[in-house]
């Protein structure tokens, strides 16, 4: 209470109210009122009021335009640590507009602004470290900027995760950052997303003509000249691979699209990663841990017992303590196994990724089933080139679990893992591929083969599939015969 009283004595609420009222008057173009209030507060060393006086004199709002006087105000506020004023000075010295061009002086003011947590200054300083390949400092500063909604910083973080510079390569995180940036109108992020969704030359990414078409629509609608022409051309190329109803849906979605504000683009971050509301809710171990025992999924007969035994084998193979696994089996509660394996999966342990996917996709006692999270982890394993993750991701795509069913993508992944999975999986693979092939038309089948060939050549560096005329014909001799014990469950 005493601390609050001291704060109120030093910073009375009326001071904040007066500045807010002045800013409101400024935004309503009531410049005479705003000028009077800003001058009153500037005499009290209110840096926000001093900054706005600079803006009014620079632009001639309610006063005669006086750029030198404006910069006197900016310097006064910046020297007191005001972020926007320091940013303004840094940009002036950087560009040579209104100030003599001086890189050293620009950097000085950018640093002062960044220390005030100005998102644009953080982005500028972070980008300078990025050019020097000092990824540790760059990522720290860019993250501080991006989490305030700065779309340039979000785009750069997308590039960082896409290339794996200073962080484990993670295409899912790259897409998440690109999307945040693109939804604010960042043209570079929009083009990146459109191009990525229209191709599968990048491993682990799912081709999505609908999303590619959507972003090319946005780019074409909000730009002119060569940028628009390029988007229109690529949109037509993507359209050739789409069914009419999907094109109509994409166009309708593009018409409804509205650019988001910075405030609407604040990501949810945990452990340096973007999470969706669903992931934050369902993947939070503490929430699962506090669930009442009766609310957790329980063991249900022979099938559950077989799954528990399979999880037992997988968990030990991943490196989970045998006692933890034994207690999970004994108590028919596998939450402790999930708690132990998730940190390993986050560190890009491929076996752990697949196990987490399995834990979420099956009726495992103590763990809520969640196909979205299962697909996320299978996709991360697939991105790493793992045939098990690719196989299971293909299965989820076929069955439409955790994502919309996409038989072309499903068939593509099955072609990619051909000859690279266990004998048990191979039998399932052949049966499923035969069924999928019967539902695809000739063009879709050829498309899947082309996509699989691209992946095999560009990522796996192996010979492409030669039997493109009849891709549905899968020979038993194409599959490796493994004598070791099956190390998975469900489809394995």
Blockwise average pLDDT, block size 10, the chain, 492 residues? 42 56 92 93 93 95 95 95 95 92 94 94 95 94 94 96 90 90 96 86 66 94 94 93 86 92 85 59 38 42 48 66 74 78 82 85 78 85 84 84 78 84 74 83 86 75 51 34 31 26
Which pLDDT value is given to residue 316? 63
Do 277-478 and 13-116 fall under one CATH topology? yes
Identify the CATH number of the domain defined by range 277-478.
1.25.40.10
Please provide residue 270's backbone torsions phi and psi, each rounded to the nearest 5 degrees: -145, 125
What's the CA gap between 286 and 263, in Å, rounded? 28
Which pLDDT value is given to residue 435? 83
Which pLDDT value is given to residue 445? 86
Which pLDDT value is given to residue 218? 96
List the helix and strand counts (H, then E) for the chain: 26, 2
Rg (CA), the chain: 28
| Domain residue limits, the chain | 13-116, 185-257, 277-478
> What count of other Cβ atoms lies within 10 Å of the Cβ of residue 310?
19
Q: Quick check: 194 and 212 in contact, CB under 8 A? A: yes
| 244 burial level (CB within 10 Å; 0-12, 13-18, 19+) | exposed
Please provide residue 324's backbone torsions phi and psi, each rounded to the nearest 5 degrees: -60, -45
In this structure, whether the domain defined by 13-116 belongs to CATH 1.25.40.10 is answered with: yes
300's CB contacts (< 8 A; 6+ apart) are 363
Measured at the CA of 379, the angle between CA 374 and CA 380, to 5 degrees, comes to 100
């Amino acid at each position: 209470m005493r601390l609050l009283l001291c704060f109120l004595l030093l910073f009375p609420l009326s001071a904040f109210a007066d500045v807010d009222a002045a800013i409101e008057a400024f935004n309503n173009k009531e410049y005479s009122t705003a000028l009077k209030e800003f001058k009153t507060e500037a005499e009290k060393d209110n840096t926000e009021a001093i900054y706005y006086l600079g803006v009014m004199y620079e632009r001639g709002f309610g006063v005669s335009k006086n750029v030198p006087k404006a910069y006197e105000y900016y310097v006064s506020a910046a020297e007191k640590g005001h972020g926007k004023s320091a940013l303004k000075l840094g940009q002036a010295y950087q560009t040579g507009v209104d100030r003599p061009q001086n890189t050293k002086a620009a950097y000085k003011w950018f640093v002062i602004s960044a220390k005030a947590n100005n998102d644009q200054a953080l982005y500028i300083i972070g980008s300078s470290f990025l050019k020097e390949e000092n990824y540790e400092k760059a990522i720290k500063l860019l993250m501080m900027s991006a989490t305030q909604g700065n779309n340039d910083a979000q785009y750069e973080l997308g590039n960082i995760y896409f290339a794996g510079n200073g962080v484990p390569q993670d295409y899912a995180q790259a897409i998440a950052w690109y999307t945040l940036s693109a939804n604010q109108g960042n043209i570079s992020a929009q083009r990146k997303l459109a191009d990525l969704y229209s191709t599968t030359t990048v491993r682990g990414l799912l081709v999505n003509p609908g999303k590619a078409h959507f972003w090319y629509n946005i780019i074409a609608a909000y730009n002119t000249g060569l940028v628009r022409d390029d988007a229109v051309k690529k949109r037509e190329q993507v359209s050739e691979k789409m069914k009419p109803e999907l094109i109509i849906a994409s166009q309708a979605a593009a018409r409804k699209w509205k650019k988001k504000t910075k405030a609407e683009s604040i990501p949810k971050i945990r452990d340096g990663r973007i999470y969706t509301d669903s992931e934050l809710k369902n993947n939070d171990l503490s929430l699962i841990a506090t669930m009442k025992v009766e609310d957790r999924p329980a063991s249900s007969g022979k099938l559950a017992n077989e799954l528990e035994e399979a999880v037992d084998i997988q968990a030990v193979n991943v490196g989970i303590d045998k006692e933890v696994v034994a207690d999970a089996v004994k108590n028919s509660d596998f939450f402790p196994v999930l708690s132990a394996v998730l940190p390993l999966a986050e560190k890009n342990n491929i076996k752990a990724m697949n196990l987490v996917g399995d834990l979420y996709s099956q009726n495992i006692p103590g763990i809520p089933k969640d196909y979205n999270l299962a697909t996320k982890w299978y996709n991360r394993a697939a991105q790493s080139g793992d045939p098990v993750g690719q196989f299971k991701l293909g299965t989820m795509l076929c069955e439409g679990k955790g994502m919309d069913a996409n038989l072309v993508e499903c068939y593509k992944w099955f072609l990619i893992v051909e000859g690279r999975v266990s004998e048990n999986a191979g039998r399932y693979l052949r049966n499923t591929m035969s069924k999928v092939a019967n539902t695809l038309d000739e063009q879709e089948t050829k498309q899947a083969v082309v996509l699989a060939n691209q992946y095999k050549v560009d990522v796996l560096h192996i010979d492409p599939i030669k039997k493109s005329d009849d891709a549905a014909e899968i020979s038993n001799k194409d599959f490796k015969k493994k004598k070791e014990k099956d190390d998975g469950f469900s489809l394995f």
